Structure 1
Amino acid sequence: MFIGLTDEQEMLRETMRRLADASATSDPDDIASDERLVTQWERLVEVGVPALRAPATCGLESSGVETALAVEELGRRLTAIPVLGQAVLTTELLYAAGAEKEVDLVAEGALRMAPVLTDDLTGFADSDDHGVVLDAAGASHALLALSDGDRRRLVYAAIDTAAAREGLDLTRSISPISVSDLGATTSVGDPIDARRWDSVMAMALTAVAADLVGVMTGALDDAVGYAGERVQFGVKIGSFQAVQHLLADSLVRLEGARSCLWHASWAVDHLPPGEALLAARTAKAYASAAGRDVVEAAMQVLGGISITWEHIAHLRLRRTLLNRRLFGDESDQYQAIADMRLTDPNLG
């Protein structure tokens, strides 16, 4: 069986690569300003990324793979564009609730919502309690998925992102909020049932895995390039067998994560929700564990310069560690996978 990208998907990947290169983060002092982020967001809207998870809006039959490609390329260059929260998760939630009007506004760039997660970042906030707005930069509203029995209902409220602050990941803005202290909230769309919610979670996990794969790719590219240039004891360090093995092992881990990611991104649109969620948890678990190892291996190859404030490597490590936490790390996913399989032995 041949598994590969279509010509259209390759074109999208190249387009996203050019956009990522133009909006790349190179060091902490070069992270995009608010004004520059607005311009970058407008370019993202022009490409159509916020509409990729809304087939009726973008005209695609399936969009999981395309979404993963877009997120991966932006992650590779550590762009500060809030694509994960505002372009992927928000659209996924709104489309699942049938909020077509709001989906169109988000796709046009006329409405910017960011999802609210729990304090520990392991899931969407589901009650009137404290939470954090993920990818708050430039957002005008916070979007919540509140529990309503075995369903989720969406509400949104205006927020002031001036209070947004940097956390572990310096390329993302996170805004802590007290849901109970929000102003007037507005219900949007229809309640999301448990089966559809599984699909939402599958896409959320897959999107984070895509960002992890992108960050890994950028880290390995830099490490390989450095090993081919850095001279020690009169020879390039890339000629040392220990360095070669370290980089080769990292490549194996990266491609394994990418394989899991591609299956999960396809499964979101083509498999039943339960099977898609299982594939997404597998991809997230693999990418979380591999991401930490690959990025740390790259830092070993780069040496002491990688832990300085001026070098991009420590930004990658920060982003990887936060991504690993989002919606649960590999240990959380392993437990969830075990629970799913024990509950339904025929699953997957």
Structure 2
Amino acid sequence: MDFALSTDRQDLADAERAWLQKHDPILERRPSIDDGPAAVSSTMRRHVTEAGYAGLLTKEVGATNVDLLVLVEAHGWAGSPVPLAEVAIAVGLLETMGHRAWEAAAAGDEIVIPVRPPTSGRLDAEQVGDGLRIRGTTAPATGLVDADRIVLVAQTADGGDVVAVIPVRDVEIRVRDTLDLLRSWAVVDIDVSIAAEHWASMPTGTVGTVTDQLATFRAVDALGCADRLLGLAVEYAGQRAQFDKPIGSFQAVKHHLANMALAVEASRSTLWAAALALDGDDATVRARAVSSAVAFACQSASDVAQLALQVHGGIGFTWEHDVHLMIRRIKVDELLDGSVDDHRRRIVDLQVVAAD
């Protein structure tokens, strides 16, 4: 497959990185980093609203998962707390189910976050008359502390896929402590009955599609972090001197930087393929492309993080440097929405099925 970003997509990515560089999320986060989970600032929220990013995946806008990918990578690179992929996915679901809140959410008047069943377990969803009864605890999600509504995807006991829209006041959001200091993470404890107008049956495979989307964009975020670490390492290697020479002139450091660059570029290519598969109609191709990309990109981002730390040496361990913040974020991306091992196992399972 021969694919490259269009000029419009590259311009979009460049413009977003330039805006994020000007409104540095990490610099904004530093003064409150010990005070609690990261929240989306009014400046960030206004930017997302004015740019129209929340409605990217709606039919009205007509953008694709590839378009969303370049933006999510930029926010990962900047260490942004904005749950851009999550919001776009949730708004797309609202439009598909025909919920009245989708236009307000697409306009940025509300923040909606998608939640799904835990990786090892399920939510109890049962239709009762015209309503839906839901009990259980969701998988961790980012952005819930800023959300006005959650958009829950789940399967009923008979295997049907459903989507339900729930105001955050009707559920309990439990913030979780994680290594990640740049985003908020939480789970949702649910025990509610949903009226008929706030839930809908969805096509078979909807839960799987949303799960694959979340996993892909989690890996895209890790890619953005890895790209930032690569840039920091190259810059530091050109400035730090030993024996009156920049350490970047030493062969061992050159190899580290080259390996980091290779990992970043290869990960980007695999994730482009995953995003294209998400925009396609073949569930098997999508599953294989997503798990292959996520497993490779998350492992590669972790490798880049370790090499970046080696290049920086002792300065990389300090609280004041941004290196540790990006490494922490990568480690969380590596584990949530399916770990590297989970996705490798899925690839094997898909191969076994194909062989049969």
Give the TM-score, by structure 1 length. Answer: 0.87
Q: Corresponding residue for 1:220?
A: 230
Q: Corresponding residue for 1:263?
A: 273
Which stretch of structure 1 is more off in the superposition, 281-290 or 300-309? 300-309
Q: Corresponding residue for 2:101?
A: 102
Instruction: Note the alpha carbon deviations across 1:121-161, whole angstroms, 9 max, x for none.
Output: x4896332123443223211233223212222122332269
Q: Corresponding residue for 1:282?
A: 292
Residue aligned with 1:57, SS = coil
Q: Does 1:18 align with 2:18?
A: yes
Q: Corresponding residue for 1:170?
A: 181
Q: Does 1:130 align with 2:134?
A: no
- Do the aligned residues in 2 keep the contact of 1:158 with 1:183 (CA within 8 Å)? no
Gaps of 5+ in 2: 125-134
Q: Which of 164, 167, 172 matches 1:158? A: 167
Q: Corresponding residue for 2:115?
A: 116
Which stretch of structure 1 is more off in the superposition, 29-38 or 128-137? 29-38
Distance across 2 between alignment mates of 1:214 and 1:174: 19
| Shift in Å, 1:100 | 5.4
- Do the aligned residues in 2 keep the contact of 1:117 with 1:123 (CA within 8 Å)? no
Q: 1:134 to 1:186 in 2, by over 3 A?
A: farther
Residue aligned with 2:10, SS = helix
Residue aligned with 1:316, SS = helix
| Shift in Å, 1:336 | 0.7
| Shift in Å, 1:18 | 2.2
Q: Does 1:64 align with 2:72?
A: no
Give the TM-score, by structure 2 length. Answer: 0.85
| Shift in Å, 1:5 | 1.6
Q: 1:335 to 1:234 in 2, by over 3 A?
A: same
| Shift in Å, 1:265 | 0.9
Distance across 2 between alignment mates of 1:335 and 1:194: 23
Q: 1:124 to 1:78 in 2, by over 3 A?
A: farther
Kindly report which structure 2 residues correspond to 1:13-52, keeping only aligned pairs within 5 A, or say none: 13-26=13-26, 29-30=30-31, 37-52=41-56
Q: Which of 283, 290, 303 matches 1:293? A: 303
Q: Corresponding residue for 2:149?
A: 141
Residue aligned with 2:205, SS = helix
| Shift in Å, 1:310 | 1.4
Q: Corresponding residue for 2:7?
A: 7
CA RMSD of aligned residues (A): 2.7
Which stretch of structure 1 is more off in the superposition, 133-142 or 110-119? 110-119
| Shift in Å, 1:35 | 8.3
Q: 1:9 to 1:332 in 2, by over 3 A?
A: same
Q: Does 1:241 align with 2:251?
A: yes
Q: Corresponding residue for 1:327?
A: 337
Residue aligned with 1:137, SS = helix
- Percent identity between matched residues is 25
